[in-house]
Amino acid sequence: MALAIFDLDNTLLAGDSDYLWGRFLVEKGIVDGEHYERENERFFAQYKAGQLDIFEFLRFSLAPLRQHPPKQLHQWRSEFLSSVISPLITESAIQLVQKHRDAGDTLLIITATNAFVTRPIAERFGIDHLIATEPETLNGHYTGDVDGEPSFREGKVNRLNDWLAENRQTLKDSWFYSDSHNDLPLLEQVDHPVAVDPDEKLIEVANTRHWPIMQLHG
């Protein structure tokens, strides 16, 4: 039984759930629109350029969780999943997951996006195992801080190694699907790295190293 690992944003999803959650908060008037939109765009550009300070971004992106009660947050998240995320779950992505499920592989999503946003998305794919950046909670409320190491760049490798030890799994014959050059540290660890609708930097690396490139979302 092999491990099939999937990045989420712009890989399994035909869009970026973290960025779109921010857009959703702006459109609902939940956050200050002008400031939040400007910062969201700035961080998104940094991410694509491989220059994102993950801790600065998380202080920004997790702040709304601290500012509202969990019940209200969950209501907003349900609306977000229905109106924004559901249309981004494509048949081709479902088929890719099913191919590995039929092969008996262990399915795992690993994402830098926080677990509040991504856990229900993983559930929609029927994937039980999720490694995501964990928002800290205290007495049932979000603090706006991070619990543990963010699963970003080398942090994905560290978090995955912890998960492997806890679950008595290995990377023998493992797969990892990703769109982003930010995931090169993990792509280099698996036996079957696959570039999915890759960004320009990942296309260059994949061509140089003869990694397969697939178009999952057209």
> Strands of 106-114's sheet, edge to edge?
129-133, 106-114, 3-6, 175-178, 192-196, 213-214
Look at residue 40 in the predicted model and tell me its pLDDT: 84
CA 6 – CA 22 distance, rounded (Å): 22
Q: Which of 9, 18, 183, 197 is catalytic?
A: 9
CA 110 – CA 112 distance, rounded (Å): 7
Q: Which of 7, 18, 105, 197 is catalytic?
A: 7
pLDDT tens for 32-68 read 888 888 998 899 899 888 899 999 999 999 999 999 9
Going along the chain from its start, the domains and CATH numbers come out as 3-214 (3.40.50.1000)
Lowest mean pLDDT among 25-39, 95-109, 127-141, 191-205: 25-39
pLDDT tens for 154-187 read 999 999 999 999 999 999 999 999 999 999 999 9
CA 16 – CA 80 distance, rounded (Å): 13
Three-state secondary-structure class, residue 86: helix
Mean pLDDT of 128-157: 96
| Both structure tokens of 209 | 């190293």
Active-site residue 197, yes or no?
A: no
Mean pLDDT of 16-25: 94
Angle between helix 17-27 and 115-124 (nearest 10)? 110
pLDDT tens for 64-122 read 999 999 999 999 999 999 999 999 999 999 999 999 999 999 999 999 999 999 999 99
Active-site residue 7, yes or no?
A: yes
